[in-house]
């Protein structure tokens, strides 16, 4: 329950959309998070009753001691939409803890897990062209730029 409360505090404060990372649970109450949102997020790992396009997704939380500092999501495989879109991994770090290396360290840990889950030869990521911090996080984890569109770079990290 203590972990759930920390996750609620993180999730409800995370903006609804920051640099393309979407969070439909911004502003959710503690009661709703624990009763409805958290069971739903857990079920995303083994989805039941979800549309066919829905790819299993696992949420991980980065802790430093007793402080939850970030969230990392792994989508287990690519569909056409994910291949040309958000890719395998999405992440965020708590605002007051940014710029201290947590993003870089958290992606490193997440990649170790993702390598055991995703079937593709490379880990796909997408980043907004104006999101320099996230580009650095990816590059420091061995990413290369595989393509771009008007707003984004499409990055890949070898498995
Ligand atoms: C992107 C994000 C996860 C980075 O997390 P972080 O913990 O601040 O990352 P790090 O501390 O590991 O910093 C990585 C690099 O970016 C740099 N950086 C951090 N904030 C920056 C900023 N606002 N502008 C430019 N560079 C920045 C750091 O200095 C560091 O570079 P360095 O090693 O050369 O010094 C965090 O800013 C965040 O949660 N942003 C909102 C959500 C988001 O954009 N998610 C990613 C979507 S692709």
Per-residue model confidence as pLDDT tens digits over 22-68: 999 999 999 999 999 999 999 999 998 999 999 999 999 999 999 99
Domain boundaries, the chain: 2-121
pLDDT, tens only, 115-125: 999 999 999 99
Q: Can you give the pLDDT at residue 113?
A: 98
pTM (predicted TM-score): 0.96
Burial class (CB in 10 A: 0-12, 13-18, 19+), 123: buried
Pair of tokens at residue 92: 């965020």
Q: What is the bridge-based pairing of β-strands 89-93 and 144-148? A: unpaired
Contact 112, 97 (CB under 8 A): no
Q: What is the CATH number of domain 2-121?
A: 3.40.630.30
Q: Ligand 1: does its nearest atom lie under 6 Å from the Cβ of 89? A: no
Q: Ligand 1: does its nearest atom lie under 6 Å from the Cβ of 132? A: yes
- Residue 87 per-residue DSSP state: B
């Amino acid at each position: 329950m203590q972990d759930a409360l920390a996750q609620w505090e993180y999730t409800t404060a995370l903006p609804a959309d920051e640099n393309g990372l979407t969070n439909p649970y911004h502003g959710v109450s503690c009661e709703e998070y624990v009763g409805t949102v958290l069971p739903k997020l857990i079920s995303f790992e083994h989805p039941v009753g979800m549309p066919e396009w829905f790819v299993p997704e696992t949420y991980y939380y980065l802790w430093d001691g007793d402080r939850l500092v970030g969230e990392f999501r792994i989508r287990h495989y690519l569909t056409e939409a994910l291949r040309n879109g958000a890719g395998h991994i999405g992440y965020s770090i708590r605002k007051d803890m940014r710029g201290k290396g947590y993003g870089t360290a958290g992606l490193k840990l997440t990649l170790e897990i993702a390598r055991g889950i995703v079937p593709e030869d490379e880990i796909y990521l997408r980043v907004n062209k104006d999101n320099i911090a996230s580009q650095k996080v990816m590059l420091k984890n061995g990413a290369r730029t595989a393509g771009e569109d008007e707003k984004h770079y499409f990055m890949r990290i070898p498995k």
